[in-house]
Structure 1
Amino acid sequence: MRHIYLIFIIFTITSCQNSSIINIETIHVSDITECTGELLTNIHDGCYINGIIKDTFLCLQNECSEQLFHVYSTRSMNKLFEFGTKGRGPNEYIFPLFINTFDSKILSIHDLSLNRLTNIQLNNYPNKEAYSDTLLPPESINTYNLNILDSINIASSILNDSSLFYIYDKQFNIKAKINYEPRFFVSPKGNIHDAYSLTITSNSKQHSIIAVFKYLNLINFYDLNGHLQKSIELDLLKDKIDCSQFQLSEDMIVTSYNTYPTHDFCYILWQGVPVNRAYQSPCYILAFTWQGELKKTYRINLPLNYIIVDEENGYLIGSIYSEKTEFVELYKYQLQ
């Protein structure tokens, strides 16, 4: 009985401590490259909430335009065309999200509300043959973080369940359920699903899945079977995050909130400040290999919302909301 009480005491005093099974490696961040960007003046005013590069096309999602998607040339930064409106029909969208499938010729859009995947051949626009719509199986409803790979699909559940993400076959039958790990203590007063809010990105050729957590100082690296290979934290954040009574608020720390995958690297946008300061503080961009090695760190002088990386031409694009214009401005940064 004495041993049972001892185990209970050790458990109850643990608050956001590392699991005894999973060791979290602390990464020392040094050799930081300072970056100052150049405003892209050719980009028209807009409420650009996300972007992706496909071949020589820069695709931006604009929430304050009748046409939802604006496509620019990556060479001249001149606008080429627009497409997509609100609705439920062909080339219409309700809640669209870009998906990076590593196919440089195809733009893939997942509509969460319509449970639909749209593939667009940008170099064949506006021919009807350029568009392909696929209704996803009912099992994919209420999912986000959708990653479509050669032989599997990966997604997180919108519902408050006990998983970080699921691995599915191509018909969306569950192959593996990936639970919370490392397991941090969150009391019944807190919300463990919110505490473990994350972004999932994957690469089939690198046999890797990366889970980047938004409110924890934690990045997990998995193989394609969902086996955890490595957990890391960054020494950029000096204080431990107490998630024992986690609730979404303006005081919570935001660590990582955007990623951009390429063939060789996963770029992570990282800040490490409370929400009420998130749009006032500079940020970091961390270039990790798919196996969890930090290769490069950039410090950006502006509080970026998301990034778009063009490794072939050696630059990245970052977005920032301008209080002066009340639109999103895009800045170009050279990758050194």
Structure 2
Amino acid sequence: MKYILLFFTLSFTCCTTSNFFNSKNIIIDKFPKDTTLFGEKINIESIGTNYLIIIDTLLICFKAQGVDNYFDIYSTNTLNKLGACLTTGRGPNEFLSIQYNGQYFNDSLGIRMWLKDDANLRISLFNLTESIKQEKTIIDSCIYLDRVQEGYGFLINDTLINIDPYPENVFFKTYELSTDKLLEPIKMFKNPYPNHSYQDQIFAMTTTLRPNNKRFASSMIFFNQINIYSSNFKYRKSLSIYTPTPSIKQVLNTPREERIVYYSLVGSTMKYIYALYINQPNSSWDTPRKIEIHIFDWDGISIQKLIIPQNIIYFTIDEKHKQLLGITSDEEIYKYDISMCI
């Protein structure tokens, strides 16, 4: 197993500001096409599943709390269970927390996934194929961190990119592994009201990286906004959905439980960005209702709106079978035909 130890700069004196709220947003008031999907329930029992992951012909039921293990693995062709792996602990092949940001390899060495464990201060290259074959967790290499790097962590060649959420700001940090150097951070968002009592997590968002590693897309939880940008921020586009983006002050002045949750998740393929649109107060966003998934291309052009009768809280795309799989808060899994828009 290969190990790399990183020592991150603990502080910095300057940064570039690239505030998405300072740019002129494109308002998407409607989508070219609306399609209602009808789901088929899948009979899979994986107790504690929070998220679904599909890689090639494998369906992973990801249990964020590590109930028995983190991953239950099934075949997308037969829905037969193929195994379970990734146990909780502090051992070399164990995890105290897992964050998966959609990055994997599928080559002669098998399917390998980058997994981030903030609690154990490491990023591991997990070999899914060998773990299924050997019926135990196989880690090909690790990058050890000297401190918790909170937020989304993406590895692009010899570069680690971390989208770091501070209470008052969000920083886009680029760390060169080959030279052991932290580049000048980019401030993505700045809160002009840092002393406000409700300012925590104001810029919360979910982020996906295009499979060719060229662009990111982030959906904001408390703003009706999708941001598409390159790692050097030379390309940047912000979309406001249905109405102009509410002001920071407006959101801050709304009590936490009454804040509107706009987007809870964003995912992507090479062709499209898929964003799960909630548009409900924080206190009731998981109540039964129809759900929308908004589809955009990587240039920010709106493509289609999918309407889903079930109240799914998470989804993943099965490109091979042209399906979307979603899971509800009751851990019921549904599959939907999306051959018309994939």
TM-score (ref. length: structure 1) = 0.82
Amino acid at match of 1:92: E
Amino acid at match of 1:334: D
Greater RCO, 1 or 2 (C-alpha within 8 Å, sep 6+): 2
Contact 2:222 2:261 in 1 (8 A): yes
Equivalent of 2:327 in 296, 319, 322: 319
Equivalent of 1:32 in 34, 43, 50: 34
Equivalent of 1:223 in 220, 226, 230: 230
Partner of 1:100: 102
Partner of 1:263: 270
Partner of 2:212: 205
Equivalent of 2:120 in 114, 118, 123: 114
Instruction: Name the CA distance, whole Å, in 1 between partners of 2:153 and 2:186.
Output: 15
Amino acid at match of 1:46: I
Instruction: Name the CA distance, whole Å, in 1 between partners of 2:327 and 2:72.
Output: 15
Instruction: Name the CA distance, whole Å, in 1 between partners of 2:222 and 2:272.
Output: 22
RMSD between superposed Cα atoms in Å:
2.6
Instruction: Name the CA distance, whole Å, in 2 between partners of 1:34 and 1:315.
Output: 14
C-alpha spacing 1:239/1:138, structure 2 compared with 1 (3 Å): closer
Q: CA deviation at 1:242?
A: 5.9
Partner of 1:54: 55
Q: CA deviation at 1:165?
A: 2.6
Contact 1:51 1:98 in 2 (8 A): no
Q: Deviations over 1:226-257 (max 9, x none)?
A: 3452111000x589466443566221100111
Q: CA deviation at 1:185?
A: 5.2
Q: CA deviation at 1:68?
A: 2.1
Taking the TM superposition and a 5 Å limit, the aligned residue runs for 1:170-209 are 170=177, 173-181=181-189, 186=193, 188-192=195-199, 194-203=201-210, 205=212, 207-209=214-216
Equivalent of 2:302 in 263, 269, 294: 294
Q: Deviations over 1:1-50 (max 9, x none)?
A: xxxxxxxxxxxxxxxxx95x511110122321111211111x11411112
Give unpaired runs (5+ residues) of structure 2.
1-19
Instruction: Name the CA distance, whole Å, in 2 between partners of 1:133 and 1:246.
Output: 46
Instruction: Indicate whether 1:157 and 2:159 are aligned.
Output: no
Greater Cα offset, 88-97 or 201-210: 201-210
C-alpha spacing 1:162/1:334, structure 2 compared with 1 (3 Å): same
Greater Cα offset, 241-250 or 199-208: 241-250
C-alpha spacing 1:211/1:239, structure 2 compared with 1 (3 Å): closer
Q: CA deviation at 1:184?
A: 7.0
Q: Deviations over 1:278-328 (max 9, x none)?
A: 112322112222222222221111221111111221001111022xxxxx1
Q: CA deviation at 1:151?
A: 4.2
Look up the SS of the partner of 1:316 in the other structure: strand
C-alpha spacing 1:89/1:144, structure 2 compared with 1 (3 Å): same
Instruction: Name the CA distance, whole Å, in 2 between partners of 1:209 and 1:320.
Output: 26
Give unpaired runs (5+ residues) of structure 1.
1-17, 323-327
Partner of 2:90: 88
C-alpha spacing 1:246/1:202, structure 2 compared with 1 (3 Å): farther
Instruction: Name the CA distance, whole Å, in 2 between partners of 1:92 and 1:102.
Output: 19
Instruction: Name the CA distance, whole Å, in 1 between partners of 2:323 and 2:211.
Output: 24
Instruction: Name the CA distance, whole Å, in 2 between partners of 1:240 and 1:161.
Output: 17
Amino acid at match of 2:27: T
Look up the SS of the partner of 1:179 in the other structure: strand
Q: Deviations over 1:147-166 (max 9, x none)?
A: 22224322222543533432
Look up the SS of the partner of 1:263 in the other structure: coil
Instruction: Name the CA distance, whole Å, in 2 between partners of 1:187 and 1:282.
Output: 36
Equivalent of 2:285 in 271, 275, 278: 278
Contact 1:166 1:175 in 2 (8 A): yes
Amino acid at match of 2:295: A
Instruction: Name the CA distance, whole Å, in 2 between partners of 1:147 and 1:276.
Output: 31
Partner of 2:6: none
Instruction: Name the CA distance, whole Å, in 2 between partners of 1:98 and 1:163.
Output: 20
Look up the SS of the partner of 2:120 in the other structure: coil
Amino acid at match of 1:218: Q
Q: CA deviation at 1:72?
A: 0.4
Q: Deviations over 1:126-153 (max 9, x none)?
A: 44794224133326x2322112222432
Instruction: Name the CA distance, whole Å, in 1 between partners of 2:49 and 2:137.
Output: 27
Instruction: Name the CA distance, whole Å, in 1 between partners of 2:311 and 2:171.
Output: 27
TM-score (ref. length: structure 2) = 0.81
Instruction: Name the CA distance, whole Å, in 2 between partners of 1:305 and 1:175.
Output: 36
Instruction: Name the CA distance, whole Å, in 2 between partners of 1:192 and 1:168.
Output: 28
Look up the SS of the partner of 2:119 in the other structure: coil
Look up the SS of the partner of 1:157 in the other structure: strand
Identical-residue share of aligned pairs (%) = 20
Q: Deviations over 1:169-198 (max 9, x none)?
A: 2366332423245x6754632555521111
Look up the SS of the partner of 1:138 in the other structure: coil
Partner of 1:78: 80
